[in-house]
Structure 1
Amino acid sequence: MRLLVVSDSHGSKDELLDLSEMYKSSVDAMIHCGDSELSADDPALSSYLIVRGNCDMDARLPDDLVEKVDDHTIMVTHGHHYGIKMSLMKLRYRAEEVGAQFVFFGHSHSLGAEWINGTLFLNPGSILLPRGRSERTYALVDTEDQEINVTFLTHDHVVLDELTQTFS
């Protein structure tokens, strides 16, 4: 399985359209973790599984998504309802309730990946307004056999080698 994960684009359509064009035929799903600030029917979002962030006004966007992708259960949320800036505890409990093996979220604009009790928790950072780093980022998640590889890339598709992680 291969997933593209992006978040916090805050009205910027160009990056989303660029990612869609670049990856639409090479990933199993494209995920947006909220704060697009676009309407649910905006063409820039048409390729994405997307949730509603705290800056999104369109109530047609769901707060959370739980989807099966290639026999894996993924949960997508923005994170503000789970207090992710303080702790991943509430999010972890929710992931356990829905049986998620992958949890994708945004909100903090800070990238990171963590393996907790057999579940990958990933924040791709922000494709527009990063915090903690200068690079605007997104992530690719690849599964192969029993390994999960997480690669963070800049908005202009440069791999951040020092942040690449493998979980098993």
Structure 2
Amino acid sequence: MKLLIVSDSHGLTEELSELQEQYGDSVDALIHCGDSELRAGQIEIKDFLIVRGNCDFERRFPLDITKKIDGNTIFVTHGHHYNVKMTLMNLNYKAKEVDADFVFFGHSHVLGAEMIDNRLFLNPGSLLMPRGRVEKTYAIVEKEGNTIRVSFYTDKHRELEDLRQEFVL
């Protein structure tokens, strides 16, 4: 399984179109964790699984998505309803409730990946206004067998090799 995860693009369109074009045929899903500030039906997000963030006014975007992809349960949310800027505890409770294998969220604009209770929690950072680093980022998550690889990329598609992580289940 291979997934592209992006969040907090706040009105950007060319960058999202570029991600669709570059990765659309090589990943199992394109995922947007909210605050796109775009409308449902816009071409720039047509291929994305997308949720509503605190800056999104489009009510057709759901607050959360739970989806099975290649036998894995993926949970996507923006994170503001789970207070992710303060703690991942609430999000972890929800992840347990839906039996998620992967939990993708945004809101804080701070990239990161960690395993909690044998689930991957990942924030891809922000394509527009990163916090904690200067690079505008998105993430690629790959699972092969019992190994999960996480790679973060800049908006110019350069891997931030120092942030590459591998987790063994």
Residue in 1 that maps onto 2:17: 17
Q: Which runs of 5+ in 2 are unaligned?
A: none
CA RMSD in angstroms, aligned pairs only: 0.4
TM value normalised by structure 1: 0.99
Residue in 2 that maps onto 1:108: 108
Residue in 1 that maps onto 2:161: 161
Distance, in Å, in 1 between the alignment partners of 2:41 and 2:95 is 28
Q: Which runs of 5+ in 1 are unaligned?
A: none
- Amino acid in the other structure paired with 1:124: P
> Alignment length, in residue pairs?
168
The 5 A counterparts of 1:116-127 are 116-127=116-127
Distance, in Å, in 2 between the alignment partners of 1:40 and 1:76 is 17
Residue in 2 that maps onto 1:66: 66
- Amino acid in the other structure paired with 2:134: S
The 5 A counterparts of 1:13-162 are 13-162=13-162
Question: What per-residue deviation string (whole Å, max 9, x for no partner) do you get for residues 84-123 of structure 1?
Answer: 0000000000000001000000000000001001100000
The sequence identity of aligned pairs, in percent, is: 59
Residue in 2 that maps onto 1:6: 6
- 1:145 Cα deviation from its structure 2 partner: 1.1
Instruction: Give the secondary structure class of the aligned counterpart of 1:162.
Output: helix
Q: Deviating runs (4+, > 2 A) in structure 1?
A: none
- Amino acid in the other structure paired with 2:68: K
Distance, in Å, in 2 between the alignment partners of 1:100 and 1:40 is 26
Distance, in Å, in 1 between the alignment partners of 2:31 and 2:2 is 11
- Amino acid in the other structure paired with 2:44: A
Distance, in Å, in 2 between the alignment partners of 1:9 and 1:15 is 9
TM value normalised by structure 2: 0.99
